[in-house]
Structure 1
Amino acid sequence: MEAIPRNLAILKSILSNFALLSGLHINDSKCLFVPVAIPDASLPGIAQVLQCAPKQMPVTYLGLPLTIRKPKKIHFKPLLDAFQRKLEGWQTKFLSLGGRLTLVKTVLTALPLHYMQVIKLPNWLVKQLDGMRRSFFWKGREKCLGGHCLVNWAKCCLPRKCGGLGILNLIIQNQALLMKWLWKLKLEPNSTWTSSVQLLYGTTDIAALSDETRVSLAFKDILSFKDFFIASTSCVGGSQQLAWKWTPIGLYSSASAYAILADPGLRSPYHTLLWKMKIPPKVKVFLWVALLDRVLTQHNLLLRNWPTISSCKCCSHGIIETTSHLFVQCEYAVQVWTLLQARFSLPLLTFLPDLHLFWLQNRALPGQSWDIVWAATTWAIWKERNRRIFTDKSLPSNLLMAEICAAIEAWLTSV
């Protein structure tokens, strides 16, 4: 409001009358007013009328930093503190990769959404938030080295159908949330938002507004997405009614915008099969890493310059332990697969020299029963490999098969 005596008196009268009618009480000690471009000499008079103290920008409004200038790092400290509190409160040592993935997607990724609806997050902040999400997912702590991350973060943030984990990309999600203001500008002509844009800039035509227009920093960030927005909308039947191309009913949604912006066009050959399996989340994440050949076999450890032996611990031939060898070609693995083939009456298996080809090529006939047998066996072979390395103990193939059958039964009955 304009800081003139009449307006101040009217505002104070409205608040006082509301308090009398509702039976509430105004606590003046908790009230404040924020002067914008007002001389310091006028502040005592305003404070006397409103009976509250002045506070210079920036201030916190509805949990967000309110400022007439570009937000500084200190303004985002509450968000970083919220991340820190969450990370410190979790017993990360007892969480599997599947459990951490769930917390990353449902808790950590949700924390900045309130900010992202109205503010374009600066690159340094996105980098810091991604660093904390990445470190928690791979190592369960605030920071970790790049060598601890088995798969790069960009791959993890791809949609599942494109071979990723489906973790939200904060930059793209920020864009999708901010574009809703462009939609409101077109679809809600009587809203306060539209009236404010019309009053400030003389038009609500998105095409007529540009980054060069003398607009606020926040609105300039929103306008930076206008080309994609215009290309994604069309008029219905030659009328002025706007329709969003990426939803069946023609209404804008942040989810549909994100789905289009985050889709690189590539498709994973096994995304649907893997994530729909009725198996524990930690096994799904492990299989995802294994199918990308990123599990820490002896071969991959050597590539990372970690001191280790190169030969496979599950066989006696001294062959280097690669993903394909460990799960498909190792003599121990072949024994286990052969026993399971007889146990579940599977067709003759084709031992292709690649884990995902071995899985997909052999599922032609048995279908879903083969999927869960393949998942349980791959997981059991990995645990047996670790048992031999870290405890110097081993199970014969027939006992491992019994362990696999028990796991399959437990998974099926728990769903």
Structure 2
Amino acid sequence: MEANPRNLLIVSEVLSNFASLSGLRVNDDKCLFVPISIHESAFSQIASILKCQAKDLPITYLGLPLSIRRPRKIHFQPLISAFQRKLNGWKARFLSLGGRLILVKSVLTALPLHYMQVLKLPPWLLKHLEGIRRRFFWKGKDKCLGGHCLVNWSKCCLPKENGGLGILDLQRQNQALLMKWLWKLKHEPTSVWSSTVQLLYRTTDINDLSICGTSYGLTDILQQGPLFNLSFVHAIGNFPATWKLTPNGIFSSASVYQFISNTGVLSKFHPFLWKMKSPPRVKIFLWLLLQDRLLTQQNLIMRGWPSATSCSNCNGGFIESADHLFLQCQYAISVWSLVQMRFKLPLLDFTLDIGDFWLSLRIPSIKDWDIIWAAASWNIWKARNKRIFSSVDTSPYLLLKEICSCVRSWNDHA
């Protein structure tokens, strides 16, 4: 309201009448007024009429920093603290990668959404929040060296169909959410938002607003205009305007995010990997295996980490690469031979790489091949780790029992 006695008295009287009619009284101790471009000499008069204290901008309003200037770092501290409170309550070291992935996607990614719907988050904050999510996912700790991240975080944030884990990229999600306000300007002229912009700037045209001086918040929203125009179809004749990224022509932030995140390069494993009947931790293991990102001896040497120089399973002088460990090692061949007989599989081609080996037998006549391949690969990896870290040897026959147990269990719980 305007800071003159008449307006202040009217508001005070409205609140008083409301209290007498409803029995709900305003708690003056919890109220404050925010003076904007008002001389301090008028503060005491305003306070006596409204019966509350003054507070300078910025303030927290509906959980967000409200200011006529861009928020500073200190104003985003509540968001950072919310991340830390969540992490402090989780026992990350007891969680598998699958469990951490669920928490990253469902909790840590959701925390900043309230901010991102209204504010364009500064680059330093996006980098900081992405670092928190990355460290929690890979190590479950506050610190995580680059070598601990088996796959580049930008790859993890790609959609699953493009070979990623489907974790939302915060910068792209922020961009998609802000575009909602442009849609309202174009397609919802009677909304409160459009009416307010019309009242302040005498126009809701995106191009006109872009060349006139606006608030920092509206300026950030208008910066999404070029991308918005790529996705928006103007009204033709008497037909209403439509959004061409959705079948029903109605705007959705999800459609924008999908549009700007899609690399155009589809993963040949995506249609089968994430629909497989297996636990989440196994799917992530297979995702790493198919990209050759498991910490085999070959990858450890490439990273400059200490490692043995020959395969521990066969002692044949071969360096332990993914294809050797899972297909070409004598131990692996023995295991696969037993699996072939147990599940009546056709002839196996061990000259293929691990991905083509899996896809080569994905035919309708071989039932449960996806689960068999996943269970065999998972248990070969576990047997390898037991041999290295616990000095426990697992015979191919015993490993076959473990594979069969996994196949039954995963089928039963699918």
Q: TM-score, normalised by structure 2?
A: 0.98
| Structure 2 letter corresponding to 1:107 | V
Q: Which runs of 5+ in 2 are unaligned?
A: none
- Structure 1 counterpart of 2:232: 233
1:219-230 counterparts in 2 under 5 A?
Answer: 219-230=218-229
Q: After superposing the two structures, state which structure 1 stretch, 325-334 or 362-371, moved more.
A: 362-371
Question: Alpha-carbon deviation of 1:365?
Answer: 5.0
Residue in structure 2 matched with residue 339 of structure 1 by the alignment: 338
Partner of 1:389: 388
Task: Name the counterpart of 1:242.
Answer: 241
2:113 equivalent to 1:142: no
Amino acid at match of 1:209: L
Q: Per the alignment, in what secondary structure is the counterpart of residue 158 of structure 2?
A: coil
Equivalent residue, structure 1, for 2:176: 176
State the Cα distance separating 1:21 from its structure 2 match: 1.1
Q: Look up the match of 1:272.
A: 271
Q: Is 2:65–2:71's contact at 8 Å kept on the other side of the alignment? A: yes
Percent identical among aligned pairs is: 58
- Cα distance in 1 for partners of 2:275, 2:92 equals 26
Q: State whether residues 163 and 268 of structure 1, in contact with CA within 8 Å, keep that contact through their aligned partners in structure 2.
A: yes
Provide the aligned length of Structure 1 versus Structure 2: 414
CA contact (8 A) 2:97 2:137 kept: yes
Report the equivalent of 1:109.
109
Q: Which residue of 2 aligns with 1:327?
A: 326
CA contact (8 A) 1:87 1:142 kept: no
The alignment partner of 1:179 has SS state of helix
What pairs with 1:361-372 in structure 2 (closer than 5 Å)?
361-366=360-365, 369-372=368-371
CA–CA separation in structure 2 for the residues paired with 1:61 and 1:345: 66
| Distance in 2 between residues matched to 1:97 and 1:246, nearest whole Å | 33
Listed one character per residue, the Cα deviations across residues 91-140 of structure 1 (whole Å, up to 9, x for unaligned) are 11110000000000000000000000000000000000000000000001
Alignment check: 8 A CA contact 2:126 2:170 kept: yes
Aligned partners of 2:239 and 2:60: how far apart in 1?
A: 39
Q: Which residue type is aligned with residue 90 of structure 2?
A: W
Superposition CA RMSD, Å: 1.1
Aligned match of 1:259: 258
- Is 1:377 aligned to residue 376 of structure 2? yes
What's the CA shift for 1:146? 0.7
| Cα deviation 1:24-79 (Å, max 9, x = unaligned) | 12111111001111111111111111111110001000000001101100000000
State the Cα deviation string for residues 210-238 of structure 1 (Å, max 9, x = none). 1x420110000000011111221113543
> Alpha-carbon deviation of 1:367?
5.2
What residue is the counterpart of 2:283 in the other structure?
Answer: 284
Matched, 1:164 2:164: yes
SS across alignment from 1:209: helix
Deviations 1:170-192 (A, max 9, x none): 01100111100111112222222
Between 1:295-304 and 1:195-204, the stretch displaced more is 195-204
Distance 1:352 1:40 in 2: 82
Per the alignment, residue 45 of structure 2 pairs with 45
- Conserved? CA contact 2:345–2:366, under 8 Å: no
Code of the aligned partner of 2:339: L
For 1:121, the aligned partner's letter is L
Whether the aligned pair in 2 keeps the contact of 1:326 and 1:333 (CA below 8 Å) is yes
- Specify whether residues 339 and 159 from structure 1 end up closer, same or farther in structure 2 by C-alpha distance, changes over 3 A only: same
How many Å separate the matches in 2 of 1:248 and 1:411? 36
| Counterparts of 2:250 and 2:159, CA distance in 1 | 22
Task: Return the offset for 1:366.
Answer: 4.1
**Residue 18 of structure 2 is aligned to residue 18 of structure 1:** yes
Query: Structure 1 segments of 4 or more deviating over 6 A?
Result: none
Counterpart-to-counterpart distance in 1, 2:238 and 2:120? 33
**Residues in 2 aligned to 1:250 and 1:106: alpha-carbon distance in whole angstroms:** 28
Q: Pick closer, same or farther for the CA change 1:369–1:113 going to 2, 3 Å.
A: same
Deviations 1:338-395 (A, max 9, x none): 1111111111111234111111122235456111100000000000000000011111
For 1:117-136, list aligned pairs within 5 A: 117-136=117-136
Give the partner amino acid of 1:45: Q
Q: Name the TM-score, length of structure 1 as normaliser.
A: 0.98
SS at match of 1:65: strand
SS at match of 1:60: strand
Please name the residue that 1:91 is paired with.
91
Q: Distance in 2 between matches of 1:217 and 1:378?
A: 54
- Between 335-344 and 182-191, the greater mean CA deviation after superposition: 182-191
CA distance in 2, matches of 1:178, 1:9: 38
The alignment partner of 1:111 has SS state of coil
**Distance 1:259-1:126 versus aligned 2 partners, 3 A rule:** same
Instruction: Describe the SS at the equivalent of 1:24.
Output: coil
Question: Cα–Cα, structure 1 residues 404 and 84, in superposed 2: closer, same or farther, change >3 Å?
Answer: same
Contact in 2 for aligned 1:280/1:411 (Cα 8 Å)? yes
Q: In structure 2, how many angstroms separate the alpha carbons of the residues matched to 1:314 and 1:83?
A: 43
- Is contact 1:350–1:362 with CA below 8 Å preserved after alignment? no
